[in-house]
Amino acid sequence: MRAIILILLLAGCSDHWTKLGATQRQGDVDSYLCQYENKTFSDGSVIGPHGDLAQEEMIRRCMKARGYRLD
């Protein structure tokens, strides 16, 4: 698990999330966790041509629920 987080931190994220009192590193970790949770708990109902967009929206909602905002 740590190796995956390290790879993500080195690779960076396409979205820039900010949260008062959180470092960029913590934001990257939380973003990874939202992505991981979305893949882990997905029931496969998000399929088709707009499936990727729906998954991205789920990740955005997860980050917002954690107190982040997208800059």
pLDDT at 62: 92
Q: Is 63 exposed, middle or buried (0-12, 13-18, 19+ CB in 10 A)?
A: buried
pLDDT tens digits along 14-61: 567 889 898 888 988 998 999 888 876 655 555 555 566 778 888 899
State yes or no: pLDDT of 65 exceeds 60: yes
Q: Check: pTM over 0.85? Answer yes or no.
A: no
